[in-house]
Amino acid sequence: GVISGVHVLPFSPGIDYREIDPELGDWADIEAIADDFMLMADLALNDCAVQGPWFQRFLRDEPPYNAYFLTASPDDDLSEVVRPRAHPLLTPYETAAGVRHVWTTFSADRVDLDYSNPDVLIEMLDVFLGYIARGARAIRLDAVAYLWKEIGTPCIHHPKTHAVVKLMRAVVDEIAPWVVIVADTNDAHQESPGYFGSGDDEAHLVYNVALPPLLLDAFLGADAAALCDWAKDLHAPGPTAAFFNLLSSHDAIAPTALPDSQRARILLAAQAIVLALPGVPGIDYHSLTGSEGPQPGVNELSAALNEPGSLPSLVFDGYKALLRARAGNDAFSPAADRRVLAAPAAILALLRTATAGGCVLCLVNVTGDEAEVSFTDGELGLGDDKVFRELVTDTFLYPSRDDGNRISLVVDAYEVLWLAYSPDS
């Protein structure tokens, strides 16, 4: 009742795009998930596994697969290539046609596809459409920024990479307009918005890659100033484009030395920022359930969630309350307006305004001490009622006013306040 979509990370056995890892299930299981949720599937566009049938045929020099993978000479000048990893870029493999040095951007057991070969592009479009035929309504383009290589260039964010994304968008716009393309750029925030294209011709969603480190910085430094400055300039280019917001690493901002109740409060405060920012939130499994380390089994997780006061139960119940509050208010729509308000460094103050006019003032304290924030009527456009409804707890809050007629609010340590009100008409 609170989650509308499920993102299944790569479900193939790592060697064949068209198969399901038998340890996970089969296509019927994937289709069953798609019946109940908006299913997002991963498409590893850049590379595939060396154990897979395509590369094994490449090693045997069998056409057309002997031209599916990108090769180069060790003597080529590859100094301009931007690297996401420290291992050698080229890996030698013994093939039936002799030793060939294959481009391996991410690891020696992941071999890069050659998109300058039209057969490769056609093959991957067929895989793409196959996932849609199985019920996927969102396709995540994994590490898409590295897709097209050209010696003598950085081989990242290549114009022809953007051309491939445009092609995939044109395909879904024509035959499956309900499908959302999600670009995982795995690179700096300054370049990521380029994958929106003009706002309606590339990805619908783009990973908000700057958000996790900025959130960590805010909580660890007890100072939200840098996060707020960045959020002021956070804009998607059109009504069909939005950032994909997620914070998947939570242990770093909730030290294990703290009591579980405080760890849960810190985690939920960080996740409340993810949920309040403009865009579409992505929720990591561990973040939703408060689980740690290896993914727990169903019985183990159920027991932890049913144990009053445990970290999983505190996080899960708190997260569900946030999600219900968010789903019930149009001010959190990706298309709703947003404005970062001036506030003390301890607090992120974000005003979301629905197209129909309703407002939600989102306040999150990123520190372990209470902090006070104040606003003028003009900053909020507060209506005649002069009252807030706190969405998460469904309680009413009547703000105090100082001598200058400013509205003042005290926000407790790591507290989240989502305050709904009607603006001046």
Structural tokens at position 297: 């089994």
Residue showing tokens 């996970």? 24
In the block, residue with structure tokens 């706190």: 390
Burial class (CB in 10 A: 0-12, 13-18, 19+), 55: buried
Q: 3's torsion region: left (phi>0), alpha (psi -120 to 50) or beta?
A: beta
User: What count of other Cβ atoms lies within 10 Å of the Cβ of residue 324?
Assistant: 14
Nearest Cα to 36, choosing from 176, 137, 185?
Answer: 137
225 three-state secondary structure: helix
What is residue 91's three-state secondary structure? strand
Nearest to 46 by CA among 129, 130, 102: 102
- Residue 250, Cβ density class (10 Å: 0-12 exposed, 13-18 middle, ≥19 buried): buried
Residue 142 falls in the annotated catalytic set: yes
Alpha carbons 118 and 111: distance in angstroms, whole number = 18
* Residues 34 and 8 sit within 8 Å (Cβ to Cβ): no
Q: Which residues 6+ apart lie within 8 Å of 44 measured at CB?
A: 10, 17, 142, 143
- In DSSP terms, which residues pair with 364 in a beta bridge? 348, 416
Q: What are the structure tokens assigned to 205, written together?
A: 């969603």
d(CA 153, CA 160): 12
Give the span between the Cα atoms of 200 and 243, in whole angstroms. Answer: 14
Structure tokens at 144: 């898409």
Query: Which residue of the set 142, 223, 402, 403 is catalytic?
Result: 142
Print burial letters for 298-308: b (CB count within 10 Å at least 16), e (below 16).
eeebeebbeee
CA nearest to 147, candidates 133, 158, 131: 158
Of the candidates 159, 155, 181, 135, which has an alpha carbon nearest to the alpha carbon of residue 34? 135
Residues found in the chain: 425
Beta bridge mates, 421: 359
Positions marked active-site: 142
